[in-house]
Structure 1
Amino acid sequence: MRLPASRTLPVAALLLAGGYGIAVEAHPERTDVAQAGPAADYPVTIGDPFDIEGVRWTPVDQLNYDAVGYAKVQQEGLPPLTGAHKTLPLPSYVEVTALDSGRTIVIRLVERGPMVNDSVIALAPSAAEQLGVAKDRAAVRVRRVNPPEVERSRLRTGEAAPRRMDTPESLLKVLRRKLADQTPKPAANVSSAAVQTSKPAAIGVYAAEVKASSGPISSAAPLPPTVSRTQAAASAERQVTGRNGTLVVQVAAFSAPERADKVAKQLDGHVTQAGRYWRVRLGPFIDSGEAAPALEKARAAGYSDARIQRAD
């Protein structure tokens, strides 16, 4: 007598065989189903640090990434309605806002790039078209988001997610001013007055513990009792002033030297001491043009208040 065929047998076989390390494919004709659903966003890749024209970029899983900069249209290599980013996880999703019009779209990041230091994101031509960008380089805001699955699904298959509401002009003015402020000024105009610190950043990135100062941190403040760290900071300061260049990128200031050390290592910077605080700096650099990629790197890591200033 023939036994009735069981439609659940392949699944059961898969479950039973899993405990013995045997690979059993229950439905080989349907292996593409998972890749078309939420599982297609996993595994998420962070990746190792890499260099672009002498500047080191360190990928990081930063949930609250929000930056202004320039978008580059990448004519080849990117799937429809996708983009490339230097540091955010792959894949992940971002809102991109054109600062000239306020138009805002959502795209999926699938590659590292752009492989130039003066652009924050690369857009596929179809994404640039949806954003209304008619040139190869445009001022944008890039903000990491977590869209609903229905939008993720559309973007995974190359369809456009619904456009967001246009950003109001009042906010666009603020964003344009922020972009103008972070554009490096000529060396003679760079202020050396304030120690700038970051706002709280994201996973794996320490936020600064002090608020931005209206003037230099006083050297009369009590010094930490750790003599070895004080000596190390003095040595680092001597190394900075001994190299060519008079400008540095001031990333943040910390009250705990251990945290400063960790951020400096992450950004390939150095730590110097100013009173009771420990400053993380990149450089020095000969001029503001040379310092610009390091400034963008610091802000891409979550230190949106990083500034170029004179080494002291």
Structure 2
Amino acid sequence: MKLPVCRARSQSVSRSAARWLIPGTAILLSACHKPAPPLPSAHIHYEVGPAYNQDGVWRYPRQEFAWRESGLAVVDGDTSPHITADGEIYDPKAMTGSHPTLQLPVQVTVRNLDNGRQIEVRLNDRGPKQRGRLISLTPQAAAAIGMGRDPARVEVIENELPSRIFAETLPGGPLLDMKAAPVGTVQTEALDTAAMPQTASVDQPQAGSQQVQPASLPSLPVVYTQGWATPGSLWIEVGRFTQRSYAAIEASRAGGTVNYASDNNGPGWVVRVGPFSGVADADAALDHALALGLTGAHIVVE
């Protein structure tokens, strides 16, 4: 004898439950979903900023117009909408990037030493967050220079003219404040006004009169120039010293060598540890140098 199967009732119960569950689920989803707060308006300005501590290493932002350095570049880790350090709205499709200490914004040439590609980039933010990295690039800029997920060996050269234009025209730039200029003691004497030449009145320049608040900065083209690949080895540069005796002391602590160098950073005795063929080995050596208190240590390519 077969027992009756109540399929219709079961189906009815399932549909009835669904009618209760679906609206409830929608209510729960709507309660959990909160729209992201709107971004503040762009307020593009010139930025140097105070010293700050990043992952145990102190950074000292400074203004430079003849800067040149080699190191490792990475792709931006945070591509969500946010305001950059110089007040721009971050755009992952723009040819921009970040640097820990240069004034912002600044225009640079980035050359991928592994494949010879060269691009123009505007640095407009602080970063990268990972120690031992020279710059980070947007996904667009990284693709243009032929970068993958791994750090790329690069040389970065500042372009002085556009960088100076940013400094002189953006709000917050280092313009001379005319009203704050020192005034010495002046003695006056009455003159014969008939003998004086007639002059027209001239408006005095006002501080910041050349600085304009732009809505945005011109976009750099998404193009690259193909050059020669010049891959080099990774080194840890511990520091640069004016006297060889001081350099020898630091070299002894770090287990490095001392060499004389004269480049855009000026003449001096340079202490380096290496070379290292891989990024992991260079990172480990950098961590060791920082643990010894050699806070100026950083990765370079040569």
TM-score (norm. length: structure 1) = 0.45
Structure with the largest fraction of helix: 1
Structure label with greater radius of gyration: 2
TM-score (norm. length: structure 2) = 0.47
